[in-house]
Amino acid sequence: MTAPWVVAITGASGGPYGVRLLDVLARARVPVQLVISSHGWRLLETETGISSQQELEAATGGDWSSITVYDNSDRGAAPASGSARSAGMVICPCSMGTVSAIAQGSSRSLIERAADVALKERRPLIVVPRETPLSLVHLRNLTALAEAGTTVIPAAPGFYHRPTRVEDLVDFVVQRVVDHMEVEASLVPRWEG
């Protein structure tokens, strides 16, 4: 059996990125252990109108046979243990509060503990921060994560593919995320020079 990816959604603006990522992973039947913080749920409702797991399932293809959901307060869940297999972790979007907690090693939730586990077990950790401007504190915390082996993919879409819809901008960022997860997807045209 393929080890699951831990996927988390936190309270940084960028809910459409998290929804689209889940859509791509669910349709590809990638095993996922999903954790959404309370601020992540508030974000989803504010930015996408999604306020329940049922609505999120419907918005992401409707077939969640490859997705297992965990409560962010359950620090005893599988993603909290280094002995539980995983392919790595993606936090999309990732709040600066979450970045700070991971950078400082102060895991107070399942999301933060799962990220800590990814780092200590040398598994891929991908964070998708969406904040602007970045303070010196933000930059230092992101640098600490990068130095620890984290891949930082800012939610900063490119424009060379000539996007015409918001969805094109979202797909640009999500394509970069799934590329680093080594999940096959063709959401945007590749640069050919």
Q: What is the pLDDT of residues 55-93, one digit of tens each?
A: 999 999 889 999 999 999 999 999 999 999 999 999 999
Query: What pLDDT was estimated at residue 5?
Result: 98
Structure tokens at 102: 């991971």
Average pLDDT value for residue range 156-180: 95
d(CA 44, CA 21): 13
Give whole-number Cα distances, 126 to 19, 47, 54, 90, 119, in Å.
16, 22, 26, 5, 10
Structure tokens at 74: 């359950």
Phi then psi for residue 50, to 5 deg, are -90, 120
Handedness of CA 39, 181, 127, 148 (dihedral sign): positive
pTM of the model: 0.96
* Architecture in CATH of 5-181: 3-Layer(aba) Sandwich (3.40)
Query: What pLDDT was estimated at residue 1?
Result: 66
pLDDT digits (tens, 9 = 90+) for 12-35: 999 999 999 999 999 999 999 999
Listing DSSP states for the chain in one string gives: -PPPEEEEE-SSS-HHHHHHHHHHHHHTT--EEEEE-HHHHHHHHHHH---SHHHHHHHTTS--TTEEEEETT-TTSGGG-TTS--SEEEEEEE-HHHHHHHHHT---SHHHHHHHHHHHTT--EEEEE--SSPPHHHHHHHHHHHHTTPEE--S----TT---SHHHHHHHHHHHHHHHHT----SSPPP--
The pLDDT > 70 percentage for the chain reads 99
Domain boundaries, the chain: 5-181
The identity of residue 148, as a single letter, is A
39 pLDDT tier (thresholds 50, 70, 90) = very high
pLDDT > 70? residue 155: yes
Q: In the block, which residue shows the tokens 């992973």?
A: 25
d(CA 193, CA 191): 6
Query: What pLDDT was estimated at residue 190?
Result: 85
